[in-house]
Amino acid sequence: MNYVSTRNNKINVTAATAIASGISAEGGLFVPETIPSLTENDFAELKNMSYVERAAYILKYYLTDFTNDEIEYCVKGAYCGSFDNDQPAPITKLGQNINILELWHGPTCAFKDLALQLLPYLLTTSAKKVNQGKQTVILVATSGDTGKAALEGFKDVENTKIIVFYPCDGVSPMQKLQMDTQKGNNVFVCSIKGNFDDAQTGVKQIFTNNVIKETLEKSNMNFSSANSINWGRLVPQIIYYISAYCDLLKNGENLENGFNVVVPTGNFGNILAAYYAKQMGVPINKLICASNSNNVLTDFINSGTYDRNRKFFTTISPSMDILISSNLERMLYELCENDSETVAKLQNDLAKTGKFTVDENVHNKFKNIFYGGFCSEQETLDAIKNTFEKYGYLIDTHTAVAVSVYNKYLAESGDNKPVVIASTASPYKFANDVLSAIENNVSGNEFEKLEILSNKTNTDIPLPIKNLKNAQVRFQNISEKEDMPKVVLEFLGI
Ligand SMILES: *Cc1c(COP(=O)(O)O)cnc(C)c1O
């Protein structure tokens, strides 16, 4: 299985090259040449496996240049010992039809851990194959959760260095504290004056800046990405959708007519992984793309025009405050039937004018596969409150966006097939807003609120969050977005 660039499908590389480089030189994203499909027999086998076994089974289809031993080493390193009860993606059932896929049992309490615990293994294994001896420098732009998850995944990993940029006013206090207290000898954290899109654009510019690239090469280093533009971030996410299907089968759910999947969406990585799972044979019916007030994807799915020229909102679901959803490019490639010229043109339009429009045929395909919806801040809070009152189950602000949009979909369509809702963060990561949803006028600092939330809802504070209280702050850097290249070179000492 090889990988091609979304902007030039003549560029054809191995999985190791795709993962080691992160992004294709001309700016395109790597996608599998063909999406493998699983048979009934595969699912019958997968059904009785543990998560780690399922992961290895699925990765073998995508990483054909890795040996079986390498794959085993990667998945065991990633998923044994770092998730609660060694269950990275358990399902909790609410009522008859709703299955919450809890993706926040890892070291940083958000779904990014599922990919970012595995990525360092995939990346160092890939780097050994394709650029022997070179040090890999990981650059990350984060709206909060990726940064911390990447730092945890890469801290003290041999032959790597990692630099994380986050928008100074765009992350929650807990997210900020999680990053600023990061341990490890190869890590650097810096906030920038700007929003997430500024951070992401800045990182992309550094990646494609030839002068900086040459400077790194002279020092025997090269860049890679831990953002979901890296294929190594996406492939681990396909696993949990397949695993969720296997668990539903195991639970004896009636899946005769398939099931729906709801994903609170920002960069379009998570929902794209669900699409790949669907293409591989998981009987997913509708993919419900849930947005907050930054509803650029809702408008795109409804109109066929993607237009980022709009007001940017800072919301209580900050990991979804994004106006440029990078992974939509991979979806466009799929729905334009591998026509990389068209994709390149659309991305060029986006870079030049901030918008693009797909043709009617492609738009219709989008509408068939996806439902796009969004909810307001108040609706997000209502979803937390209602879910808690109805089921005694606490959800975070991002999951709440998914629940709220699912309810709109249900009301509009009457489609009450079983549903899997991706729950992307622990409510304790956003305790302030979660608590305000279920109780008026609570005062206290962040950590007092954790205790109040825990007592009130009879749930435990995850240890990685509880322990932040006494963690030492190591990073307090603020930079102008224009200075990002300087920050990188200074940290690297070159
Ligand atoms: C990153 C993130 C999202 C958005 O996921 P994408 O893959 O970027 O669409 C949603 N919720 C949480 C909690 C996140 O951290």
Q: Minimal CA–CA distance to 197: which of 358, 332, 310, 30?
A: 310
Buried b (16+ CB within 10 A) or exposed e, 144-166: bbbbbbbbbbbbebeebbbbbbb
Give every CB contact of residue 335 below 8 A, 6+ residues apart in sequence: 358, 362, 365, 366
pLDDT of residue 407: 98
* The pLDDT of residue 236: 98
For residue 41, how far is its CA from the centre of ligand 1 (angstroms)?
32
CA of 429 to the centre of ligand 1 (A): 13
Mean pLDDT by 10 residues, the chain (494 residues): 97 96 91 97 97 98 98 97 96 96 96 96 94 88 90 95 94 91 97 91 89 94 89 97 97 95 97 98 98 98 98 93 94 97 98 97 98 98 98 98 98 97 96 95 92 96 94 96 96 94
Give the dihedral sign, CA 351/354/360/366: positive
**Which of the listed residues 319, 399, 429 should we mutate to test ligand 1's pocket, taking the one with most ligand atoms within 8 A of CB?**
319
Distances (CA, A) of 145 to 104, 115, 413: 11, 12, 33
pLDDT at 171: 87
Ligand 1 atom nearest residue 145's Cα? 15
Query: Strand, helix or coil at 356?
Result: strand
* Ligand 1 environment, Cβ below 6 A: 110, 112, 145, 228, 264-270, 319-320, 398, 424-425
Q: Is the pTM of this model over 0.75?
A: yes
Quick one: 350 exposed, middle or buried, by C-beta within 10 A (0-12, 13-18, 19+)?
middle
Q: 410: CA distance to ligand 1 center in Å?
A: 22
Q: Ligand 1: which of 265, 289, 300 to mutate, judged by most atoms within 8 Å of the beta carbon? A: 265
Q: Which contiguous run of DSSP H or E holds residue 30?
A: strand 30-32
- Centre of ligand 1 from the C-alpha of residue 307, in Å: 20
Query: Ligand 1 pocket test: which of 116, 145, 237 has the largest number of ligand atoms within 8 Å of its C-beta?
Result: 145
What is the Å distance from ligand 1's center to 266 Cα? 5
Instruction: Map out the domains of the chain with their CATH numbers.
Output: 86-111+232-431 (3.40.50.1100)
Which one, of 152, 251, 141, 150, lies nearest residue 190 by Cα? 141
Question: In 3D, which of 341, 335, 339 has the Cα closest to residue 365?
Answer: 335
What's the 400 CA to ligand 1 centre distance in angstroms? 13
